[in-house]
Amino acid sequence: MIIGVAKETLPGEKRVALVPAVLASLIKRGATIQVEAGAGAAAGYPDADYADKGATIVPDRRTLFSQAEILAQVNTFGANPEAGRGDLMLLRQGQVVIGLADPLGSPERARELSQRGVIAFGLELMPRITRAQSMDVLSSMASIAGYKAVLMAAMELPRMFPMMMTAAGTIKPARVLVMGVGVAGLQAIATAKRLGSLVSAYDVRPAVKDQVQSLGGKFVDLGLDTAGAEGAGGYAVEQSEDFLRRQREAMTKVVADSDVVITTAAIPGKRSPILVTADMVKAMAPGSVIIDLGAERGGNCELTQSGKTVVEHGVTIVGPLNVATTVPYHASQMYAKNVATFLEHLIDKEGKLVVNPADEITSGVLLCQGGEVVHPRLRELLGMPALSAPAVQAAV
């Protein structure tokens, strides 16, 4: 079995799907590793490091795609539609593609992959169950985003984060508000606290209050009815427009009293909910900063411009994209561990790849196989009829 590690072609992407440290476990399973020349260079992993761990360096992409039975990528065609389109014609029937695929945001690309006859896995759909925690790439990357968001805020804020006693007087600590207490939010709380700021956090799920307090933050209770706010896997569910309106009204003063607001709310496949309105921004003190981690899907702030830093009403609003790639060394290390663990889950004791539709992890991330889109949710988004159980068994 040949596992190929492709160089990323998405503009600005510095991560790599597998790092040298994880190769030993895959080779032990009987895999041969091929790495496209320069694949890990931008992340700080030179070709020599891969070769030292038993990988073969392949000089060009076409050769890698023609020889690899499994392709490990950070961004597959689904998440890299423009630069990645050239890879489509290099794919062949029965070849396995593993990586981020933006399946809920762009399900039609899964259909294009199915037409090439490949077996595609979209790691964004990894189920939130205990068995799959070590394979959860979204959690890994969100952790990095939460950490980096605080550092971005510290760079933009014309204040210092910690309280300081100086000869010139006492400097008050910065007030940081984190909106959305998922993995990114929790890491943002922890990082902001380590920098010495006063941290408060809000989430529609009251169950996260203990987590916020355990990190030294203050949980913001708006007095709203949040019954049913938490769905399967612990994710926050999409709220009604009426609820969001009342939430925004209650949140206005909290936002106005903050020096830094970090928003992290995202709904897979949908536009990010607006948490910070233009009026809220206007009420903030000049020099305040908003870091909008929901920018990739439109933004949690009404004035966010995706991929840009703008100043509105004296407030700096940062809409970063692909935050994890700004810390490529460790982001690659974490992503690679997730991917390697998933590969080990698929490879049996004889060194063969087994796609078991009865397994919750495998079926949860399997997008297409045998020329057919097989993931139920994608078929629904594409307007395709549900596959009968026998048909699913035959396709997988």
Catalytic residues: 128, 133, 136, 139, 235
Size of the chain, expressed as the number of residues it contains? 396
- Nearest of 195, 150, 78 to residue 327 by alpha carbon: 150
Sequence-distant (6+) residues with CB within 8 A of 284 are 255, 256, 258, 261, 313, 314, 315
The dihedral sign for the CA sequence 357, 362, 364, 367: negative
Q: What secondary structure, in 3-state letters, does 43-83 show?
A: HCCCHHHHHHCCCEEECCHHHHHHHCCEEEEEECHHHCCCC
The neighbouring-strand residues paired with 176 are 199, 260
* Ramachandran angles phi, psi of 161, nearest 5°: -75, -50
For the chain, report the end-to-end CA distance as a whole number of angstroms: 19
Percent composition of the chain: helix, strand, coil (DSSP 3-state, to 5): 40, 20, 40
* Ramachandran angles phi, psi of 317, nearest 5°: -115, 120
What one-letter code names the amino acid at 167? A
Q: Which long-range contacts (CB under 8 A, 24 or more apart) does 202-208 make?
A: 202/177, 202/178, 202/251, 202/254, 203/179, 203/236, 204/229, 204/236, 204/239, 204/247, 205/181, 205/229, 205/230, 205/234, 205/236, 208/181
| C-alpha distances out from residue 228 to 212, 237, 273, Å | 20, 8, 17
What one-letter code names the amino acid at 301? C
Reported as type and span, the H/E element at residue 317 is strand 315-318
What is the distance between the alpha carbons of residues 320 and 23, in angstroms, rounded to a whole number? 32
- Nearest of 8, 71, 89, 88 to residue 34 by alpha carbon: 71
